[in-house]
Amino acid sequence: MTTTEIALKETTTSIEGVIGVALVDYTSGMALGTLGGSKDMDLTVAAAGNTDVVRAKLRTMELLGLKDEIEDILITLGSQYHLIRPIKGRNNNGLFLYVALDKARANLAMARHQLKRIESGLDV
């Protein structure tokens, strides 16, 4: 099983174009760990904001009666991809990985594949 710190480091080293990564508790909106970011990319602010995105999608699925799980949420900006991947597993309810990627350097399909692999080994 992978710890938070190892998972964040692995995300930045195995996924091309990572700007920053955070492990977030969407029940509280708090980042449990962050790595990367910049003066223009405050990962604690991003964690709180993306918590609202996850909560809204879960509410919408419930209202629609969808009996499914979120695999990931993709937000595409002009120069960035933002990936949100809820963590599945026995001890990880209410958590998601958030990754901001430089669109010019990232391979979205590979990033999703690697994030799924990292998520599957994470135990918080």
- DSSP letter, residue 78: S
pLDDT of residue 120: 86
pLDDT digits (tens, 9 = 90+) for 18-45: 999 999 999 999 999 999 998 889 999 9
Q: Which residues of the chain have pLDDT under 50?
A: none
Position 123 scores a pLDDT of 76
Q: State the total domains in the chain.
A: 1
Strands (DSSP E) found in 1-124: 18-25, 30-36, 73-76, 80-86, 95-102
Helix (H) or strand (E) holding 112: helix 108-121
Spatial distance between the Cα atoms of 107 and 124, rounded to a whole number of angstroms: 27
Amino acid 92: pLDDT? 58
The C-alpha angle with vertex 10 and arms to 69 and 111, in degrees rounded to 5, equals: 50
- Residue 64 belongs to a domain with what CATH number? 3.30.450.30
Query: Which pLDDT belongs to residue 88?
Result: 83
Q: Range of 23's domain?
A: 4-121
Q: What 3-state class would DSSP assign to 97?
A: strand
115 touches 15 (CB < 8 A): yes
